[in-house]
């Protein structure tokens, strides 16, 4: 039995999924190192530990996948658009879809929080790009390097978990002296607003906490508004950014403010590549 696999060429990470001969999906991740996509493909094939001849096809999505030829040596490459890959992967990991059939009326807004952020309305087998944001994991890493001297996401996350974002941010109580709508008085009103008023010697932990809150809040608020505009009750978060506990905490806090439902499934970083694998399998059967 020939093997099937998928590769998602992200700006920061390359994610891969392999359907083994027992039908299970194995996942792999490696840094992109900003290499040409053909070089990255060779590296992933080495990571799989199988010779190319073992594969019937490999699905490719993300990044510069459109630059790849129709085959790589003996392996046929199946191009999968990012939008259905994100949508299908999100529904699958959240348990909202099985064998291509949606299990919950209305579907979900699937959010892919990678280097940047994309948001897809997923309704059964219909997937539509709704909106997104240039704020994402790349923002966290870039500003982390500038503010904290590190672009390592895990290091920023560990600092943030020990910090207090309100040392950098202004709260609603400080800004207007009261609550607003469903927001409590201790919710932040201005990201990094305290620093606009006066210079402060913030600890790395507090800076990291403020940075994570900025990134997480932007994504969460856009996602909640987009889901409501699309009349979707569920929001599913994918991407390696939500591998970070500090980011997840911010997302759930914002969801609580607005009585929204945000689901972060297991292995969210592999949602898009698993979706690409499922899309390609459906194409081959169909």
Residue 284 clears pLDDT 80, i.e. is over it: no
Please state the pTM of the whole predicted model.
0.92
Q: What is the CA radius of gyration of the chain?
A: 20
Question: Strands 126-133, 117-123: parallel, antiparallel or unpaired by DSSP?
Answer: antiparallel
Return the H-helix or E-strand segment holding 37: helix 37-48
pLDDT digits (tens, 9 = 90+) for 53-69: 889 999 999 988 888 88
Confidence of residue 102 (pLDDT cuts 50, 70, 90): low
Share of the chain above pLDDT 90, in %: 67
The tokens for 75 are: 């392996």
| Token output for 240 | 């390696």
Calculate the CA 225 to chain-centre distance: 18
Q: What does the alpha-carbon distance between residue 167 and residue 129 come to, in Å, rounded to a whole number? A: 37
Residue 286 has what pLDDT?
44
As given in the structure block, the two tokens for residue 148 are 């904290």
Identify the residue whose tokens are 């979706």: 275
Q: Which two tokens stand for residue 188?
A: 């932040």
**pLDDT, position 49:** 87
pLDDT at residue 276 tops 90: yes
The order of strands in the sheet holding 25-31 is: 25-31, 13-19, 3-9, 55-61, 75-79, 71-72
For residue range 112-153, what is the model confidence (pLDDT) as tens digits?
A: 999 999 999 999 889 999 999 999 999 999 999 999 999 999
pLDDT (tens digit per residue) in 26-48 = 999 998 888 888 888 888 988 89
| Per-residue pLDDT, 61 | 95
Q: 94-98, 128-132, 260-264: which has the minimum mean pLDDT? A: 94-98
Give all domains of the chain, ordered by start, each with its CATH number: 3-85+270-285 (3.30.420.40), 137-266 (3.30.420.40)
Mean pLDDT over 203-210 rounds to 97
Greatest mean pLDDT among 29-38, 59-68, 168-177, 258-267 = 258-267
């Amino acid at each position: 039995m020939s093997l099937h696999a998928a590769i998602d060429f992200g700006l920061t990470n390359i994610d891969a999924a392999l359907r083994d001969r027992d039908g299970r999906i194995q996942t792999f991740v490696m840094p992109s190192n900003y290499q040409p996509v053909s070089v990255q493909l060779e590296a992933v094939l080495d990571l799989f530990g199988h010779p190319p001849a073992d594969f019937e096809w490999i699905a490719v999505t993300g990044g510069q996948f459109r630059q790849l030829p129709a085959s790589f040596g003996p392996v046929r490459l199946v191009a999968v658009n990012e939008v259905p890959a994100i949508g299908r992967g999100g529904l699958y990991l959240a348990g909202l879809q099985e064998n291509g059939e949606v299990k919950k009326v209305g579907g979900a807004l699937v959010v892919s929080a990678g280097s940047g952020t994309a948001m897809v309305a997923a309704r059964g087998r219909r997937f539509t790009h709704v909106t997104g944001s240039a704020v994402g994991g790349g923002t966290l890493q870039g500003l982390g390097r500038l503010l904290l001297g590190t672009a390592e996401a895990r290091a920023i996350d560990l600092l943030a978990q020990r910090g207090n974002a309100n040392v950098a941010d202004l709260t609603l109580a400080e800004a207007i002296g009261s609550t607003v709508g469903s927001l409590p008085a201790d919710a932040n009103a201005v990201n990094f607003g305290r620093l606009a008023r006066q210079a402060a010697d913030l600890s790395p932990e507090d800076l990291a906490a403020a940075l994570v809150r900025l990134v997480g809040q932007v994504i969460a608020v856009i996602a909640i508004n987009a889901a409501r505009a699309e009349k979707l009750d569920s929001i599913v978060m994918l991407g390696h950014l939500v591998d970070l506990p500090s980011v997840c905490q911010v997302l759930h806090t914002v969801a609580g403010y607005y009585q929204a439902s945000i689901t972060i499934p297991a292995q969210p970083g592999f949602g898009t590549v698993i979706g690409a694998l499922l899309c390609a399998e459906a194409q081959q059967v169909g």
